[in-house]
Amino acid sequence: MPRSRRRAEPDRRVPPVHGPEEPGGRDTAERQAERRYAGSGTATASNERYRQLIGQGVRGLSVAFDLPTRRGHDSDTPRARGEVGKAGVAVDSLDDMRVLFSGVPLDGVSTSLTIDAPAALLVLLYQLVAEEQGVAVSRLTGAVRNDVLAEYIARGACIFPPGPSLRLTADVFTYCRAEMPGWNPIVVSGHRMAEAGALPAQEIAFTLANGVAYVRSAIAAGLDAAEFAPRLSFRFAARTTAPDEAAVLRAARRVWARVLREEFGAENPRARMPRRPARVPAPARATGPTAAVVPLAGSDAVREAADALETAALELLRKVEDLGGAVGALERGFQVDDIERGSGRAARGTGSGERDRADPAVEARQTERIAKLRAWREQTRVRHALDMLKKAAESDVNVLPPMKDALAAHATVGEVCGALREVWGTYRPGDAG
């Protein structure tokens, strides 16, 4: 992002985006590929739901994982108590992933994995199940959220410090490019920040700042920006009205186009188009220059609101750059502090919540499954695979191949994350905001 202190002018070269109900807003292919979000409790229960959806003609699945899985803890650990199978499916090992997709033809569906910090593990487990089904990896299509930087801002499910987390994300990029070309290795999740209280300009700026960090990490890993950038998928929070939504998307598209053109020299139009918003309504907020909303429908109102959002977002982006980019700003707590100032309340985290209660029977079943797994697997093979993973983590080689070996040997999600914690350390709130 340029560091010029000149006030940015709105970039009118990027085509406008359409609101959700406007002509051109959603094409037929997108409607047909709309995903069904499912996954809770045990892998067996979730599998029944997936097979039912497929029987109804659904070809797009979106899988939610429970909090222990998202934090890299096994279901039988004290840290998982009371959370197993709540608000997502519990996956502790390859055995669970087999059950989750039993009878689901992975070459006939497109699957989205809602996971961030341990995204690499779930992608590899998905690949292993596909290989067991006899499916060519090149035929797999889908996406993994994998937006670790947003988790620090939204006070979500983090495992490792920001630096190692970004390294692991870059390893996913290069691995998917070589092994799973039909797989989208990241979905940059602005709506997570909106849920945490971000105003529209903050959501745009911090989401795209994360996008910049991911492109830079991909370039550092040897990928080409013009090739990699089109694989980034953005999700912004849905607004309460079509004009509000169109203004946010138009501003985001302009800012992203400017960044890719000026910093990375990417002129491919596909590399400059944030995609449709997530269907997660943002909380209603009212005032301040970064809270621009569109009072009435109409192109003039949308254009004016988009211009204001673009200007405010660019100013925030420059502040992030002045602090060393997304990671440097995170280490100083800038994004979290700015959101809290703008919204007038503390950013919400990923807590246990009071609305949903975990079923103790699910935790008991998962604990029993893990005990049986550890009893019959080849322990020597598991230990050797985890040792090789730690050696890779200590070096600069891609950690996904040895990680895949460990998971194939039936190392658990918690054991794999534990091995990486030994090398990279553990994130603790306050380390990055």
Residue 110: Cβ within 10 Å count: 18
Query: In this predicted structure, what is the pLDDT of residue 227?
Result: 82
Q: For residue 29, give every residue at least 6 positions away whose Cβ sits within 8 Å of its Cβ, in sequence order, or none.
A: none
DSSP class of residue 230 equals G
At 19 the pLDDT is: 34
Beta bridge partners of 378: none
Residue 279 sits at φ, ψ, to 5 deg, of -85, 60
Q: Please give the pLDDT value at position 24.
A: 35
Instruction: Please report the pLDDT score of residue 358 as a whole number.
Output: 77
Q: DSSP secondary-structure letter at 271?
A: G
Nearest-angstrom CA–CA distance, 311 and 185: 30
Tell which CATH classification among 3.20.20.240, 3.40.50.10860, 3.40.640.10, 3.40.50.300 matches the domain 31-188+362-433. 3.20.20.240
- Angstrom distance (rounded) from CA 176 to CA 157: 23
CA atoms in the 13 A half-sphere facing the CB of 315: 13
- CB neighbours (10 Å) of residue 395? 10
Name the phi and psi angles at 72, rounded to 5.
75, 30
Give the other-Cβ count within 10 Å of 102's Cβ: 15
Nearest to 277 by CA among 10, 5, 18, 9: 18
**Single-letter residue type at 74:** D
Residue ranges covered by each domain of the chain? 31-188+362-433, 197-347
Q: What are phi and psi of 180, to 5 degrees?
A: -135, 70
The tokens describing 270, both together, are 């596909």
Residue entry with tokens 């390859």: 94
Q: How many CB atoms lie within 10 A of CB 186?
A: 26
Q: What is the pLDDT of residue 273?
A: 53
**Three-state secondary structure of 108-150:** CCEEEEECCCCHHHHHHHHHHHHHHCCCCHHHCEEEECCCHHH
**CB 90 within 8 Å of CB 64:** no
- From residue 299, how far is each of 26, 276, 302 by CA, in Å? 18, 19, 5
User: Could you list the pLDDT tens digit for every one of the 433 residues in the chain?
Assistant: 544 444 455 555 544 443 332 333 333 333 334 444 455 688 999 999 999 999 999 999 999 999 999 999 999 999 999 999 998 999 999 999 999 999 999 999 999 998 889 999 999 999 999 999 999 999 999 999 889 999 888 877 789 998 899 999 999 999 999 999 999 999 898 888 888 889 999 999 999 999 999 999 999 999 988 888 877 888 888 877 788 888 999 999 999 989 988 888 877 656 555 555 554 465 544 333 344 444 444 578 888 999 999 999 999 999 999 999 999 999 899 999 999 887 665 445 444 444 467 789 999 999 999 999 999 999 999 999 999 999 999 999 999 999 999 999 999 999 999 999 999 999 876 554 4
Strand bridging mode 36-38 / 60-64: parallel
Cα–Cα distance list, 317 to 47, 321, 322, 329 (Å): 42, 6, 9, 10
Instruction: Look up residue 334 and give its two tokens.
Output: 């800038």
* Nearest CA-CA partner of 336 in 430, 201, 239, 217: 430
